[in-house]
Structures are given as structure tokens and as C-alpha cells.
Amino acid sequence: GAYDCGLFILAYAFELVTGSAPEKFLFDQSKMPAHLRFCLKNNKFVPFPKVMAFQMPTKTTEVTHFLSPT
């Protein structure tokens, strides 16, 4: 939602501080508010819930197109 930007700031900051690469994750936005309440209630921070990790391509292929006049 429009009010979850603070949750994302915390989630990304946590990943950066712990040495992870947050750009490789999608966070589960629906679980983030409850997760923050859990962390604050228990006085401990753990990684925010994620739904997926991205795999970056390891091989690139260069493609060149030649245009011919018609």
C-alpha cells in the first residue's frame, strides 16, 4: 500500500547492514506489518519475509542487427 514505504526502508536497510544484496529479493508486502510488530515486541530484528529471490544472468550474448535499405 501507499503507507508501506517505511517498512521497505527497514527491510532494505536490514539486508544492507547484514551484508545481503537486497536488490535480489522481493519482499512479501502482505506480511511486513506483522513482521515489524513481531520484531518490536520481541526486541530482536530478523530478516523481513521474502517471496522470491532473483537470479542474475551469468552469461550475456551480444546481438547486432544490420538494417538494409529497401
Q: At which residue does the C-alpha cell 500500500 appear?
A: 1
Dihedral (CA of 18, 22, 25, 1) sign: positive
- Tell me what pLDDT residue 21 has: 85
Work out how many domains the chain is built from and give that number: 1
Higher-confidence position of 2 and 47: 47
Is the residue at 22 inside a domain?
A: yes
> Do the beta carbons of residue 68 and residue 44 sit within 8 Å?
no
- DSSP annotation string for the chain: -TT-HHHHHHHHHHHHHTT--GGGEEE-GGGHHHHHHHHHHHT---PPPEEEE----S------------
* Structural domain boundaries enclosing 25: 5-53
pLDDT tens digits, one per residue of 9-27? 999 999 999 998 888 889 9
The answer as to whether 64 is a domain residue is no
- pTM of the prediction? 0.68
